[in-house]
Amino acid sequence: MKIISVSARNVGIPLAVPTRIATREIRSRYYLLISVHTESGVEGVGYTYSGTTGGETLVKAVEDIIAPLLVGQNAHDTSGLWARVYQEALLAGRRGLLIRALSAVDIALWDAKAKEAKLPLATYLGGDSARHIPAYASGGYYLAGDQNPVASVTREIELNMKHAFTDHKIKVGGMSVQQDAARIAAAFAVIGDSGRLSIDANNAYRTVPEALAAIRTFEHAAGDHQIWWYEEALSPDAFAGHADLVRRVDTPIATGEIHQTRWDFRQIIEQRAADILQVDVGVVGGITEYLKVAHAAEAFDLPVAPHWHANVHAQLAAASTNTMVVEHFLLEKDIYNFENLLTEETRLQYADGHVILNSRPGIGIEFDEDAIAAYNKQLG
């Protein structure tokens, strides 16, 4: 199955209400969309989150660096193609934008392979596409103009439960520790004993003592409840710091969403810098690299709770044994808004705290070209 073309597009979707996490403000989200065409007439599609800026740079990385190395090659050789791009592009970037762009292209190649086999990706990988995958309702962002963040958390948890989610995640690190502790207490007041709550600091804390002081306050605010996990307390480069937290904190430590390639995750595993690995298929290097990391984690009895991109991660979870849960965003929250770019019938379905895979071949999604054109026109 020879590759005849690789194309890339950047599309941005504005948020109705500007929001922020501990470390940055978000007004629009940009996505890199990939199409790979093969000589057999199969089109593979892939994508990744580009961020709040830099989307056109990702497009250029695909066009100038990645695509020329793939056109004319066998699309089935995903491991060989990944290694070729990585080796040839060492000077352009062993991490960062280049690997993020490669992630999206690699997803498209796997989509093409599964489509040619006329199988959902989960089945193609040896899993069960009929499985329902456990999911949690993510959110708890800091919304612009919010005069009562505690009440907002209460309403959001109630919304999650209305949609039959029992497990939840909210942000911390964007307010004082005491203010965030009040938000955590409010969340548990709604959840009670019926579900779990994790907290995500988005690299907010600069030192281990600062992160320790925060989590001890948060654990106190949780009362008799166990915080599910404490996510990205420190910089992603703070491997030793996260390992220190693992040794000293009762709450499980999670990290990995910004880490790239198997070599980053090797450091996390070797240094015991996480209790839970949060691999992101759109960041780590695509499906090829995700599988290597997930299998390594399995060998060390480490669970995986992948970050974002539930459309692809649900497929990968159905073909693995150590995925504990996937992250899901209700589209009506207008926080992670990727599914606005998909045809309605290929958006990921959910029920009773699980996501439900469809039977379409490949990763199961189809881009809505009218929506893409409208968003591009809107943002000029």
Task: Output the pLDDT for position 378.
Answer: 79
Same domain, 206 and 334: yes
Q: Are residues 142 and 67 in the same domain?
A: no
127 found inside a domain: yes
Say yes or no to pLDDT of 380 above 80.
no
pLDDT digits (tens, 9 = 90+) for 18-36: 999 999 999 999 999 999 9
- From CA 326, how far away is CA 274, in angstroms rounded? 17
**Tally of CB atoms within 10 A around 175:** 16
Is residue 87 domain-shared with residue 127, that is, in the same domain? Answer: no
Question: What's the whole-number mean pLDDT along residues 309-317?
Answer: 98
Residues 310 and 165 sit within 8 Å (Cβ to Cβ): no
CA distance 304 to 297: 7
The answer to whether residue 367 is domain-embedded is no
Name the domain boundary from 118, 149, 178: 118
* Paired sense of beta strands 230-231 and 253-255, if any: parallel
pLDDT in tens, 48-98: 999 988 899 999 999 999 999 999 999 999 999 999 999 999 999 899 999
Query: What are the tens digits of pLDDT across the range 99-137?
Result: 999 999 999 999 999 999 999 999 999 999 988 999 999
**With 90 as the cut, is the pLDDT of residue 140 above it?**
yes
| Residue 199 pLDDT grade (very low, low, confident, very high; cuts 50, 70, 90) | very high
Same domain? For 86 and 150 the reply is no
Residue 176 lies in a domain: yes
Mean pLDDT, rounded, of the chain: 97
Is residue 361 a part of any domain in this protein?
no
Helices and strands per DSSP (H, E), number in the chain: 14, 13
Question: Residue 265 belongs to a domain with what CATH number?
Answer: 3.20.20.120
Residues 131 and 228 in one domain: yes
Quickly state the pLDDT bin for 377 (edges 50, 70, 90). confident
- Both 188 and 113 in one domain: the answer is no
CA distances from 132 to 22, 110, 170, 282 (A): 32, 21, 24, 22
Which CATH number is 12's domain given?
3.30.390.10
Residue span of the structural domain in which 25 resides: 3-118
Q: Give me the number of domains the chain comprises.
A: 2
